Structure 1
Amino acid sequence: MHTIDRLSAADFSACVKDLAELLVDAVDGGASVGFLAPFGHEEAAAWWRAQAPAVAGGDFMVWVCRDGGRVAAVVGLVLAAKPNARHRAEIVKLMVRRDARGRGLSRALLATAEQAALTAGAGLLLLDTETGSVAEHVYASGGWTRYGIVPDYAGSPDGTLRDCSFFYKRLTTSA
């Protein structure tokens, strides 16, 4: 049984160690989430700690999925800051521990973030992911529309350049 909780600023700070472990697991598993190997816990924790002001300000919402008491997955929602873009938001850092995949955690987290986006007035969501990845299938089968592929957009953890697929999803009150 899993639970999903939005992290308050205090909860976020208390959860940095767990979030760092999850980020290291993703990079070790080859996920193209913005970091190169070797990638350690302190570096991962520093990245998460740097997000604390945005979490405290409400511009970066973070949900964790706990499975058996431990953090098994995370998703972030970044609200657009520009006045002409407040109708949109971006899904970032959707990660599921390798040993917790295949249980629907990413779909549950996406649904939670989508509902929060609607509540915040953002009816258009954007995200990017490595082309051909399992994550790409999750988005495509979850109602997201791929609007393009950029060749050699991001490096995988070993530094190999990979194509990246860009997706959007229009949200409705029934989403």
Structure 2
Amino acid sequence: MPDVTIRALTEEETRACLPALAEILSDCVEGGASVGFMQPFPPPAALPFWEAVAAAVGRDETVLIVAEADGRLVGTVQLGIGTMPNQPHRADLKKLLVHREARGLGLSRRLMERAEAEAMKRGRRVLVLDTATGEPAEAIYERFGWLRAGVVPDYALMPDGRYCATTFFYKHLAG
């Protein structure tokens, strides 16, 4: 079992990790994950996305949480906390990504647990997310106690261009 660390990054740390973050996102999209990007999606194409995330971390609009296995960045999730004034209690879970080489180590669960802890620390007790219907992530969220709010048909495209439905989930945190 590798030595795993789960931690939140600062803006500067995020910028230092851009190549590794780009590799994770590229790997997930190339593996078929519907996370907003189309194939082909090489790592350099992911850099502008992560640069924008780094800026959002710097503005305290996003908490970027990463998983490192034996010192190598292999997973990530984002907590969107830049909400409207009438939503100070809510946050968005975004882009739970685990490199295909690191799957099966329980990293998704650990990333989500840390995201929930970060949300609670910031007074956020209602979390929402969306995911492609029928994909493995949908079952993962249900196992982690998320509740299905509904499905929107043809909401997005899979990386290969097929339409996919999207399932919306929410979770109320204790406290």
> Which TM-score bucket, shorter chain as reference?
over 0.9
- Corresponding residue for 1:11? 13
Specify which of 159, 162, 175 is matched with residue 161 of structure 2: 159
SS in 1 for 2:17: helix
Runs (4 or more) in structure 1 with deviation over 3 Å come to none
Q: Secondary structure, in 3 states, of the residue corresponding to 1:92?
A: strand
Q: Distance in 1 between matches of 2:156 and 2:57?
A: 25
- 1:60 alignment partner in structure 2: 62
Taking only the aligned residue pairs, the percentage that are identical comes to 45
Once superposed, what is the RMSD of the aligned Cα atoms?
Answer: 0.9
Instruction: Give the TM-score, by structure 1 length.
Output: 0.96
**Does the 8 Å CA contact 2:133/2:165 hold for their aligned counterparts?**
yes
Q: Is the 8 Å Cα contact of residues 60 and 82 (structure 2) preserved in structure 1?
A: no
Q: Which residue of structure 2 lines up, in the alignment, with residue 131 of structure 1?
A: 133
> Any residues of structure 2 matched to 1:63-102 within 5 Å, and which?
63-102=65-104
- Distance, in Å, in 2 between the alignment partners of 1:107 and 1:52 is 23
How far, CA to CA, are the matches of 1:51 and 1:68 in structure 2? 24
Unaligned runs of 5+ in 2: none
SS at match of 1:83: coil
1:52 counterpart SS class: helix
- Tell me the secondary structure at the aligned position of residue 21 of structure 1: helix
Are the counterparts in 1 of residues 74 and 102 from structure 2 also a CA contact under 8 Å? yes
Q: Is the 8 A contact 1:80 1:88 kept in 2?
A: no
CA deviations 1:21-51 (Å, max 9, x no partner) are: 0000000000000000111222101111122
**What SS does the corresponding residue of 1:34 show, helix, strand or coil?**
coil
2:76·2:95 contact (CA, 8 Å) conserved in 1?
Answer: yes
Q: Please report how far the alpha carbon of residue 129 of structure 1 lies from its aligned counterpart in structure 2 after TM superposition.
A: 0.5
